[in-house]
Each structure stands twice: as C-alpha cells, then as structure tokens.
Structure 1
Amino acid sequence: MLIRKFLFVLLVFSLLSCKPNFKTTSHSPKENLISQIKYLINDPVLANAQIGIFIESISDNSVLFKQDEYKLFVPASNQKLYTTAVALEKLGADYKYETRFFTTGEIQDSSLNGDLFVVGRGDPSISGRFKEKDILAHFKDWADSLKAKGINTINGALIGNDTFFKGHKLGYGWNWDDEPYWYSAQIGALSFNENCIDLEITPGEKEGELIKVKTNPITDYVIIENNAITAAKDSLSTLSIGRARGKNRIEIKGRLPFASSLEKKSITIEKPALWFLDTFIKVLNEQGIEVKNGYKLNTARVDFETNKKALFTHFSPEMSELVKVVNKGSHNFYAEQVFKTLGAEIKKKGTAKESSKVIMDWLNSNAVTDAHAIIVDGSGLSRMNLVSPYSTATLLKEMYHSENFEPFYYSLPIAGVDGTLKRRMKNSVAQNVVRAKTGYVRYMRSLSGYTKDRSGNDYLFVIMLNYYSVPTAYVNKLQDKIAILLTEFNPQKN
C-alpha cells in the first residue's frame, strides 16, 4: 500500500513539474494558452473534481479562458478577498478600531471613585502582533494612561462591554472539532491575543518525566491538564493537545521524544471577553493600580456610553495594515473580526447575517447577483460559503479600478516570497510577479489574484477546484502551472 502511494505521488509530481513544458502548435498565442490550460485540467485523475476558471486581460477587458464560471464553489479562504475588499471599500483604508474607556466617577487623591468601563468595538490587534510580540503591551500602555490621569486606585470595578458584536461566537457551519485550534478562535468585540493562549512545550529532563508546558500569558483563567510523557529519543511523537468543549481546560496527552525541539501552539479561549478582563486587571495590579471590586462583563446594549465620562480611546492600526494580516497569512480571526465590523458599522447590527448583507449589497452594485454568491462568514472556514469564479473575477476587476486597489493588492501573498505563497512558484517567472489569495479546506482549493505577462499586460485569474481526490500538492502544482503559463504569456508572439 505504501509503495503504491509513493508511486502515485511520484507520478503526479513528474506530470506536474513546476516549469510548464508543452508542445505548441502554429496557432495564435491565445489559442496555444487555451490548449495548454485544457491539457492540464482534462487530466483523467481530475475527472471527479469540479473545476471553475476565469482568466481575463484587465488591459483590454478580453476573456482568455473560462470554464464553469457561473457555477458555485466552496471558496475556502478565497472568502477573505470578499471580506477585505468590501472592508476597504465601505470602511476605508484609514479605518481604525476604537477601544473606549469611560468612568462614572471622579478622580480625587489618586483614586477613581467609580467604575472603569472598557468598551470593545472589535479590534483584532490587541496582542503582541504589532507590539514586538509583547502580548501584554496594550494593557501596560493603558495602565500608563490611567496613571497619567492620576489614577492609582479604582474604588469600583473593571467593567467590560462587548455588545458591539452580536450573535454566535463561532461562524455558521464551522466544524465542532476545530474549536480548540487557533484558526477557529471565537469572535468578540472585546478580544485579547487573538482569543488564544500560547503554549511553549519541551520534553522533560529525562525519559518518563512529564513534558514541560509554559503559557503566555501566565494565567489561572485556563487549566492545563498535562499527562504527556517524555519518550525515548528515537521514538515518534504522539503528542495531542486539545481543549474540553465549552471549558477553559487544555488537555495534553501522548508522548514527546527526549531532546525534541521547542513546540509552540496556540489554543482557543472560551468566553474571550472575560479572558480580556481577567488579564487586564492582573496587569493593572502588577503596574500598581488596585481595582477594589474585581471585574465583570456588562451586557447592556442600549446607550451604554450615556452618562459616562470619557477617559481615553485606544486606536488600532489602519485597515490597510489589518487586511495584510488577513490575506497574507490567511488569518481567520482577523477576517471574522473585520467581517462582523461590516454589519456593526454599516448596518448598525454586528451579526453575521447583516455583515453578509453588506458584502452582497456591494456585489449587487457591481453586477453580481445573489445567484452567484452565498456569504455566511468572513474567513471561509465554513463550507456553507458558495461563490462563482465569475463573482470573484468581478471583485478582482472592480478592486483593480478602485482607489483602494493599492492596499488591497499589497495585502495579497507574493508568489515565492511571502505569506501562503512563500513556497509556491519559486524559481519561476511567476516569482515576485503573481499576487494571489490561496484557499483551502479539505478537498477544496482556490487560487485567485493578479499577474503580468511578458509584455507588461495585467491579468486577473480565478482557479477553483472542489471535491478532488488527488493529493492537494497535485492541485497546488496545477494552479501554479496555470499562473506560470499566464505570466509567461506573450500575446504579441507570432
């Protein structure tokens, strides 16, 4: 069985080496390109797959190739193109998230005689990502801001409000068994460290000892149940890390070989707004600010800020920076936070349903009907999303002509250079030329973006495969080969 699998993998890689190698005829360059693409996608091993493609020259608006462009496909993380494009168009590249601080009391003799309120509005960046990996940096900065106002004691409680977003903390159609893992973090208007706790795992000092686990931050909000054993140096790792459903109890099992290198994992948090407050109040205490009455979460949704005095407001990086996190690294949590923000800001209701309407309204205004796109989340983790190659191509074309094209374009991974394309199309003409968004959930693979041909003409392309049974590496090579063909294309060649 292993030999057969090895021979199959060897076969598919030999069929799809990175550099295209086709015999061409005396037909026109466009006809040759079409013939080469058809040769690739008509491979018998893809007979059971659904393949949708749309390739257009933006320079002259001519369609070079299309197949099943109006059929619906599961886009996977190509969904992030929709989220980021509409966020740039509707919120603006200079949009910043606000985290607002209020009080009902007065400051007297270094004491705040009242409660401290923190109102979240969906900022995904309250972490170490923009703070040199110091995940507590924002909380320390806020402690400094309170001290600057003469506050060393809070004679009240720390009260959080996360009602800017409404509805479920997970996306519609997400898999329950993904819940512990960073790519399935809960969504929330008051979020910290991308709603995950970071683990550093190393073997014990000798065989038979429990492995060592460090958390960042150090916290008692999460319980670590470590039952994993240090195994022999030449053994295989059977390490398993999960989280009990609905609980902040992380379960570590299995065996980790002695002398294994450091492993870093991020595990999701249950009730992330409380995690935010729990960590913040501890940092306040460490920074010399005593909070007398602990913390709690306020669920009031109407006029929460009324009759309160503003203390200060924290601003996130601009949307033009946040969409880079979404697209280059294909970051689901950032995508979902931005997605929910669309509904909260544009429709004044931060639900997935209203956020979907914002995207569909934009698509409708650009001649994409409801028949060509069904949007249920912002990241593409749900298999309930359905889009057509035509709708994605229309999005790419509209963004190309938009004033927000630059931040959108620069958010996309660069072939052979960075993001999810860092290891693809290396040492080919497409390296550093193709900019495109990948998408993957099991048996679904997408690649959509832009490239230039040898004459400097601009193209958009959408390549979607669903329900294939070959290894995903095979599909990657096929998509790469089409992108390389397009980048090598010379429409003037006789």
Structure 2
Amino acid sequence: MNKTTVIFLLSVILIGCSATRERKLNKSIDNIINSGNFENQFTGCIIINPATQDTLFQYNSEKYFLPASNTKIFTLYTALQLLPEQIPSLKYISKNDTLYVQGTGDPSSLHPILKDSTVVHFLAKSKNIALHLTNFVEEDFGPGWSWEDYDQYYAPARSPLPLYGNITSISKLDTLRVTPSSFRDSIVFSVSGKKRELHQNIFYFDPSRKDTLEVPFIINNKVTKMFLEKALDREIGLIAEMPSGPKDILYGIPSDSLYKRMMHESDNFIAEQLLILSSSSLSDTLNGKIARDHILANQLSSLRQPPRWVDGSGLSRYNLFTPESMVVVLQKMFADLSKDRLFRLFPAGGENGTLSDWFKGNPEPYIYAKSGSMGNTYCLSGYLLTNSGKTLIFSFMNNHHRQPSANLKKEMTTIFEMMRDTY
C-alpha cells in the first residue's frame, strides 16, 4: 500500500470519526432541548461555522421569537453601517452673527456616565444661538413599551438633543444632590410606590435611601432649552426651521464608546438614540424607522425571514426576529470587523457586562454575546470560541418560560461547553 493510499484512508477514517462525533453531539443537544427545563416553552437555536458556512445545529431556527435586547444586535449593525468613527453631535449653519443648530439624537451630551461636553463647549463660543428641534418626528416612547415603565431608569424618553441621558439622578448623604440641578425644587421626600408623577417632572425620593435614584424626566423643547440656557448661562432661541444651505457637522466622542455601553450594559436609551442618530445620516428628519427601513431594504434585503422590528432597544413586545436572522447579522459583523474590535463590543462570558456571572471560561472567555431578558424571555446570541481555535456563531432564543432564567442558563452552558470541547 503506497503512501498516498494510506493518507487517503486515514483521511476517510478521521472524517468518519468526526461525523460520528458531531451526530452524537447533535443528538445530545436535541435531547436537552426536548426535555427538562426547555420542555414547556418555545425554544429556537442555530449554531454555524462561518469559515465553512456549515450549520452545526439548528432547532426552530426559522421561527419568530420575541428577542428582547437581542434587538440591539440589529441596532449595532445599523450604527456600524451608517455612522462614522466619531458620533455626529450637531448639525449647524452659521449666518451673520447667529449659530443655527439642530440635534442629531446624540445621547452623550452631559450624560452621567459618558460625560461628554462637546456640544456645550461648542455652543459656548457663540453669543446668538437658534435651536431647531422640530426635525424630531418620533414618539417619546416606542410602540409596545409598557406604559408603567415611565418612571424606570431603563426607559427614558427619546429626543432630538438629549441632555443628561434624559435621566434625573437624586442622592442624599450629607446633602441633597440632584442632576440636572434645575429639578432640585421638584423633589418630594416620600416613601412612594412611584418615582415620578406620570405627567409632571415631580420626583419622589425616600430620604433614607443610600444609593442614587435614577428617574427619567419628561423631555420637551421647553425643557431642552432650559437645560442649555443654564449650561451656557445665556438665553437661546427656538426656531421652527433651519435656514437653507449646507450644514456643517460637529463630531463628538468615539462611536465605539456608545456601542460598547449599549452592548455591555444593555443600555436601552443609547440603543434608541443610536437608531435616531443613524437616521440623521440619511435625512434631516430624525426617526428610527428611516434607519431600520434603509438597512432592511439594502444591507439586509436577503434575510429569509425579515423581522418585525419596531425599536432600537428591544423594550417592545412587538419585535419579532428569528435565530437565523440573528446569525446572519452576526456573521456580517464578523466579516466586516476585526475580531479584537468586535469582541470588545460584546460582553464576555464570566467577565463583564450582562454576562459577568454566566458562561465563564476556563480560564479565558469563550462566549462573547448579547443577552436579551424580559418577563418570560431569555435570549443569547453571539460568538463561541472552541478549544481548537474555531469561532462559531450562534443564536439561542427562549420564549414563554415560567421558570427562573437561571435554570435555562445552566442548560445552555452545558450545550455551549459541549460545542466548545467538540469542534
């Protein structure tokens, strides 16, 4: 038997062993999903190898699921496609002695964490400022959002020129501290079941509270004008439309700083504003639907199961996506971005963000993914690194479960570790 024949036979044997091992793995995963903690709910899953385009496992991957914050994967892709390396913070025209400005939806200005002062420093150079805010053609809250979340930190209203993250921060140790300070006289000390009046910027704070209370404030043109005037220590005007002519753009912080916070902390406000920001690159009209429609009609026109996609954050229960569509978008980002940059944007299992307590590596992270959680829903989609050095792409979506999500995460960990150790 010559050398070539021996090599051929060994290859056939190895391929056969690999195929047998993969069949056993698929059967094991199928058994897990069809019993135990997954039995009385709806589950969809797909795992692919982007290098070979092989589908390694799939289960209901073409079915539609409520994605929760997995929606932010589509928002991230949209922003990566439409926004530059630095965030466009303002559009402006300077005529005669007046600076005419309009917002782009940039959420970073005076944000309590991002602390960007680019807009304020820029405006401070001009004596006469005319502010245009009527280019925002969007509801304050997304369709399908829960109305009772109006006073919850995770559901600030959307706006054309956000300031302070559209959040009031209240704390009291030695003295009362309120940001923005304009609301200092609007704090009521009370042990109340609500944090703010539904239709007024009246806030309720328990004086025995030791941590900081974060409450969305009602935002409108009058409030935006008030905040800017206080920050600039001068009056500014509101105008119904911008002057004709080309607009210049003021650029702010690096875009990746917004993307990372959105993905790591599952920041709903930044997600919503990123879609509005993305629309500003296509039109002077600020509306997240413009960006969503553009991406679906162009970069994602080949999706086999087009989503019902109504917001940027996933707060809405109207959203519907399939695991297969999630994997398509993840694969596109994997092809477009360096692995280092891409994995920095996603939480690492066992290390940071929403995955800090789950899917731990041994010792290095092997899961880089975005979770999506809301009542009776837990989804996880992203990248899995195998022991042999391969990168797999997966989407695992769970809807209508009545048990603690921790039970599902334990079962999912078993599946992910089997994939990691087999491929």
Both structures adopt the same fold (TM-score exceeding 0.5) = yes
Task: Choose from 171, 185, 190 the match for 1:200.
Answer: 171
Task: Give the equivalent residue in structure 1 for 2:335.
Answer: 401
Q: Is the 8 A contact 2:37 2:411 kept in 1?
A: no
Q: Give 3-state SS (helix, strand or coil) of 2:259's partner.
A: helix
Task: Give the equivalent residue in structure 1 for 2:13.
Answer: none
Q: In structure 2, how many angstroms separate the alpha carbons of the residues matched to 1:349 and 1:140?
A: 23
Amino acid at match of 2:198: R
Name stretches of at least 5 consecutive residues in structure 2 with no aligned partner.
1-16
2:417 is the alignment partner of 1:484 = yes
Aligned length: 407
Task: Choose from 392, 417, 421 the match for 2:326.
Answer: 392
Q: In structure 2, how many angstroms separate the alpha carbons of the residues matched to 1:486 and 1:164?
A: 49
Task: Give the equivalent residue in structure 2 for 1:368.
Answer: 303
2:402 is the alignment partner of 1:464 = no
Task: Give the equivalent residue in structure 1 for 2:311.
Answer: 377
Task: Give the equivalent residue in structure 2 for 1:68.
Answer: 60
Task: Choose from 176, 184, 195 the match for 2:155.
Answer: 184
Q: Give 3-state SS (helix, strand or coil) of 1:446's partner.
A: strand
Task: Choose from 105, 110, 119 the match for 1:127.
Answer: 110
Q: Is the 8 A contact 2:347 2:368 kept in 1?
A: yes
Q: Is the 8 A contact 2:379 2:398 kept in 1?
A: yes
Q: Give 3-state SS (helix, strand or coil) of 1:401's partner.
A: helix
1:314 Cα offset (Å):
3.6
Is the deviation greater in 323-332 or in 97-106?
Answer: 97-106
Task: Give the equivalent residue in structure 1 for 2:14.
Answer: none
2:11 is the alignment partner of 1:32 = no
Q: Give 3-state SS (helix, strand or coil) of 2:317's partner.
A: coil
1:43 Cα offset (Å):
2.8
TM-score by length of 2: 0.86
TM-align CA RMSD: 3.0
1:275 Cα offset (Å):
3.1
Query: Is the alpha carbon distance of 1:270 and 1:159 closer, same or farther for their aligned partners in structure 2, counting shifts above 3 Å?
Result: farther
Q: Give 3-state SS (helix, strand or coil) of 2:383's partner.
A: strand
Q: Is the 8 A contact 1:429 1:488 kept in 2?
A: no
Query: Is the alpha carbon distance of 1:119 and 1:372 closer, same or farther for their aligned partners in structure 2, counting shifts above 3 Å?
Result: closer
Q: In structure 1, how many angstroms separate the alpha carbons of the residues matched to 2:92 and 2:82?
A: 26
1:66 Cα offset (Å):
0.4
Task: Give the equivalent residue in structure 1 for 2:41.
Answer: 49
Q: In structure 2, how many angstroms separate the alpha carbons of the residues matched to 1:359 and 1:179?
A: 29
Q: Is the 8 A contact 2:44 2:323 kept in 1?
A: yes
2:83 is the alignment partner of 1:91 = yes
Q: In structure 2, how many angstroms separate the alpha carbons of the residues matched to 1:346 and 1:264?
A: 38
Q: In structure 2, how many angstroms separate the alpha carbons of the residues matched to 1:481 and 1:299?
A: 58
Q: In structure 2, how many angstroms separate the alpha carbons of the residues matched to 1:79 and 1:398?
A: 15
Task: Choose from 226, 243, 268 the match for 2:196.
Answer: 243
Task: Choose from 298, 307, 320 the match for 2:239.
Answer: 298
Task: Give the equivalent residue in structure 2 for 1:20.
Answer: none
Q: Is the 8 A contact 2:369 2:380 kept in 1?
A: yes
Q: Is the 8 A contact 1:96 1:319 kept in 2?
A: yes
Task: Choose from 50, 59, 73 the match for 2:51.
Answer: 59
Q: In structure 2, how many angstroms separate the alpha carbons of the residues matched to 1:266 and 1:185?
A: 10
Q: In structure 2, how many angstroms separate the alpha carbons of the residues matched to 1:87 and 1:159?
A: 28
Q: Is the 8 A contact 1:85 1:408 kept in 2?
A: no
Is the deviation greater in 475-484 or in 453-462?
Answer: 475-484
Q: Give 3-state SS (helix, strand or coil) of 2:266's partner.
A: coil
Q: How big is each residue's C-alpha offset from its partner over 1:342-371, in whole Å with a ceiling of 9 and x where there is no partner?
A: 333235543243232123224543x214x4
Task: Choose from 365, 368, 371 the match for 1:432.
Answer: 365
Task: Give the equivalent residue in structure 1 for 2:12.
Answer: none
1:388 Cα offset (Å):
0.4
1:448 Cα offset (Å):
0.5
Runs of 4+ in 1 over 6 A off after TM superposition: none
Query: Is the alpha carbon distance of 1:129 and 1:216 closer, same or farther for their aligned partners in structure 2, counting shifts above 3 Å?
Result: closer
Amino acid at match of 1:71: K
Q: In structure 2, how many angstroms separate the alpha carbons of the residues matched to 1:43 and 1:297?
A: 61
Q: Is the 8 A contact 1:122 1:164 kept in 2?
A: no
Q: Is the 8 A contact 1:104 1:307 kept in 2?
A: no
Q: Give 3-state SS (helix, strand or coil) of 1:379's partner.
A: coil
2:201 is the alignment partner of 1:270 = no
Task: Give the equivalent residue in structure 2 for 1:453.
Answer: 386
Q: In structure 2, how many angstroms separate the alpha carbons of the residues matched to 1:470 and 1:197?
A: 34
Q: In structure 2, how many angstroms separate the alpha carbons of the residues matched to 1:307 and 1:373?
A: 37
Q: Is the 8 A contact 1:451 1:458 kept in 2?
A: yes
Query: Is the alpha carbon distance of 1:224 and 1:130 closer, same or farther for their aligned partners in structure 2, counting shifts above 3 Å?
Result: closer
TM-score by length of 1: 0.74
Q: In structure 1, how many angstroms separate the alpha carbons of the residues matched to 2:249 and 2:225?
A: 17
Q: In structure 1, how many angstroms separate the alpha carbons of the residues matched to 2:385 and 2:72?
A: 23
Task: Choose from 347, 356, 359 the match for 2:292.
Answer: 356
Show the 5 A alignment for 1:95-106: 95-100=86-91, 105-106=96-97
Query: Is the alpha carbon distance of 1:88 and 1:364 closer, same or farther for their aligned partners in structure 2, counting shifts above 3 Å?
Result: closer
Q: Is the 8 A contact 2:105 2:286 kept in 1?
A: no
Q: How big is each residue's C-alpha offset from its partner over 1:297-318, in whole Å with a ceiling of 9 and x where there is no partner?
A: 4343xxx03379x9x9642223
Q: In structure 1, how many angstroms separate the alpha carbons of the residues matched to 2:336 and 2:19?
A: 36
Q: In structure 2, how many angstroms separate the alpha carbons of the residues matched to 1:128 and 1:172?
A: 25
Task: Give the equivalent residue in structure 1 for 2:131.
Answer: 160
Q: Is the 8 A contact 1:83 1:335 kept in 2?
A: yes
2:163 is the alignment partner of 1:215 = no
Q: In structure 2, how many angstroms separate the alpha carbons of the residues matched to 1:172 and 1:405?
A: 35
